[in-house]
Amino acid sequence: MKTILPVTYPPITSFPHIANILSFLWVNEDKVLPWLCDRYLQLTIRPYHPMTRADFYEQADTDNYIIPGYSCPFFGWLRNNQTTAHFVKFTDYIEYQINQGYYLDACLDNFYLRCSLSFEKEHFIHTTFIYGFDNEKELIYISDFYDNGKYVRETASYEEINKSIEGIDYLINLYKYQDFNYIFNINLLKTFIEDYINCRDSLKKFEFSCASYNRDNLYGLNFYDYIIDVFCKENKLDLRPFHIIYDQKVMMRIRLGYLFKLNIFDNKVILELKERNDVIIKNSIILRNLAIKYNLTYDNRLIHKIIDKCNSIKISDQDLMMDLLNCLK
């Protein structure tokens, strides 16, 4: 028997928790669009976080395994681990949950997965999105950042999957899509835009976190400043913040398209903002490519180009956000 739950390529691929959730939510794009379009705009920097400093504000408390996206009305969410799930073979558990309509998001050791760059090289525990199985061919359908950091679909054998969870008692998330009629929240979007422009967090979603690095954050346009002042001074550039900028602009293109369809704003302004945002997208691709090129060549002249491009995008971004806010008001 072969069972594959519906998935599609997600509009945001910066981090697994966002990409995995959106890969099944985006199948129902028309339903999910109003919810998505008043979110995933604000960016945050956690200067003292040991691993993930740059992030979307919508998932920045992954240390406690709690992110605002889990309150999404379009899916139900359960959490287990190997102990509480009570399975002998993980593949049996996968088959059962997939047949119940649940997607799985499990921490697996990539040392045992042939599609991973860590295969038989290093023990690397990472969340893996599981959305289907074929028990005749003994294949599990999975997604993760297997292609040099690119989010892709792959398959792994039953043997690989079962070995990858042996001795690991980390989380196993279960997601199940549920239909919902969400009403676009323009006030939430305006709050995010204002906070982005003013580099603040008026919602204070993460104040409950016990970790200080989840509170001592930077926000919004300060994202660019941190790239220039900190990331660009490190020996090897972390490519994630550069990809986050690109993802945020792609999300803005989707958002502006939705606002245009609502036909309740000045659509001439919306179209003009879309054209300006498309230019920012092109420049964000150039910026990301410059960062990639620097990591290959270590040519310091590229750092100056990266800083100039960052400053240029920041100015265009700030102007666009201010004009969008005026349009919404």
| 215 lies in the same domain as 128 | no
* Confidence check: pLDDT of 215 > 80: no
Residue 248 token pair: 């945020």
Q: Which of 86, 234, 94, 227 is nearest to 156 (CA)?
A: 94
| Residue 15: partners with Cβ closer than 8 Å, 6 or more residues away | 52, 55, 56, 59, 62, 240
Asked if residue 59 has pLDDT above 80, the reply is no
- What's the pLDDT tens digit per position in 276-322? 999 999 999 999 999 999 999 999 999 999 999 999 999 999 999 99
Q: What's the average model confidence in pLDDT over 137-148?
A: 92
Please check whether residue 147 lies inside any domain of the structure: yes
pLDDT at 65: 60
Query: For strand 43-45 and strand 218-219, is the pairing parallel, antiparallel, or unpaired?
Result: antiparallel
Cα(297)–Cα(304) distance, rounded to whole angstroms? 14
Residue 187 domain-assigned (yes or no)? no
> What is the extent of the structural domain holding 223?
208-328
Domain count, the chain: 2
- With a CB cutoff of 8 Å and minimum separation 6, the contacts of 265 are 259, 327, 328
Quote the pTM value: 0.92
Angle at 117 between CA 111 and CA 119, to 5 degrees: 25
Which residue type sits at 250?
A: V
Q: Is 3 helix (H, G, I), strand (E, B) or coil?
A: strand
Say what the pLDDT of residue 68 is.
Answer: 62
Q: Are 319 and 212 in the same domain?
A: yes
Q: Above 70 in pLDDT, residue 67?
A: no
- In a shared domain, residues 218 and 307: yes
| pLDDT one-digit tens code per residue, 78-87 | 888 888 888 8
> Cα 280 to chain center, whole Å?
19
